[in-house]
Amino acid sequence: MYALLIKGGFLVDPAQGLYGRRDVAISRGRVAAVERSIPESKAKKTVDATGMVVTPGLIDLHTHTAHGLVRLSVDPVRSCLLRGSTTVVDAGSTGELTFSPFKKFVIEKSDARILAFLNIESLGMLEFADIRPRWTDQEWPRLLTAVEEVFAKMFINIENTVSTIGRNRSTIVGVKWAHHGMRGMGLAREAADKARCRLMIENHFMPQAFKHVKRGDIVTHLYHNYLNPNAGYYDGLTEDGKIRPEFYKASRRGVILDVGHGKGSFSWKVAELGFRDGIEPNTISSDLWVGNVNGPVYDLPTTMSKFLHLGMKLLEVVRATTTTPAAVIGRLGELGTLKRGACADVAVFRIKEGRFPLVDSYGKGRTGSRLLVPMRVVRGGFLIA
């Protein structure tokens, strides 16, 4: 007898090419069967998903979830797991000096599955909080952003970063570079190469930054419209209304283009340009932190709804939040799918139809006609919500 049956839902599982009515049975924390019809009598408990969409548990590739340790972080259960993200990847909240308490007090105790990119800065993002206009009340971070980053190595220890990754391969998925200059980015590349792992960089100092990015690496904040004070120009996908040609080249050579919505990194204007001219995201992520969890991001399903509005099909949006991020972090088959034997992480959504305000990071709005609303969540075979 199955432990749990999710019955009557419309299954969207891009990894299996499934897009239609299916029942999903779960036993011992694993997917036991996916069939057109499984009798309720074969399960101890049944979730009625009639009229709803069933997907693998979402994977949010860019979050900040070192809750209670780093000030910018959100609660990974309340803000992510209960909203359908069964796996969250922390994007550099901690560095080699601060990762150990993150692992001990947050990762190992959370009902959400938490993986992490290790910040190239040894202290991680300790300085950040939702404080306007500078997002921090600390002065020491200015040392990293000085001209030529003359103090960068004071805050970066490549040897210890590589060692920390080596001791935590099951949890750390790569190195993260953010917010500072090209010297720090070069050190991040060096650390990732020595640790034999992927690199995630924020979408700044383009196109020069592409020299540090290899196949399988991630460029996040794809659609920002941000004047970088360190670079002195709009240094992302576009500066003058035309897409930088290097983005097409990067996409062709296997660089992953990630959304990373955030509080300052998603512009309707830039996203619409990208969709018009052929730069669509490989992965959709939220960049949830305390500065945007109450808007404009809210959660990953709301971010997904914005990409439905941009014209992506439901199958494509689900692929960008399940199958592709699972492959990016090397977990496809175990995560990101509901094939038999996979980890039983499941999200169930209702698609509301109507008129819904969808706001970008700059206060600009669009009116969406469909909104993904999480209804039920299963994590490792356990019904969470």
Residue 32 has pLDDT above 80, yes or no: yes
pLDDT in tens, 299-354: 999 999 999 999 999 999 999 999 999 999 999 999 999 999 999 999 999 999 99
Where residue 147 falls among pLDDT bands split at 50, 70, 90? confident
| Model pLDDT, residue 72 | 96
Q: Where exactly are the structural domains of the chain?
A: 57-333
Which CATH superfamily, name and number, covers 57-333?
Answer: Metal-dependent hydrolases (3.20.20.140)
Strand residue runs (E) in 172-280: 172-177, 198-202, 218-220, 227-228, 233-234, 256-257
Confidence of residue 207 (pLDDT cuts 50, 70, 90): very high
Name residue, tokens 């080596």: 166
Task: Report, as an integer, the average pLDDT of 372-379.
Answer: 98
| For range 201-223, the mean pLDDT | 97
The pLDDT value given to residue 24: 98
Tokens of 46: 């049944």
Residues 121-144, mean pLDDT to the nearest whole number: 90
Q: Is the pLDDT of residue 142 over 90?
A: no
In the predicted model, what is the mean pLDDT of residues 119-147? 89
pLDDT tens for each residue of 236-284: 999 999 999 999 999 999 999 999 999 999 999 999 999 999 999 999 9
* Preceding peptide of 14 cis, ω within 30°: no
How far is the CA of 111 from the CAs of 11, 128, 289, in angstroms?
24, 25, 18
- Report DSSP state, residue 385: -
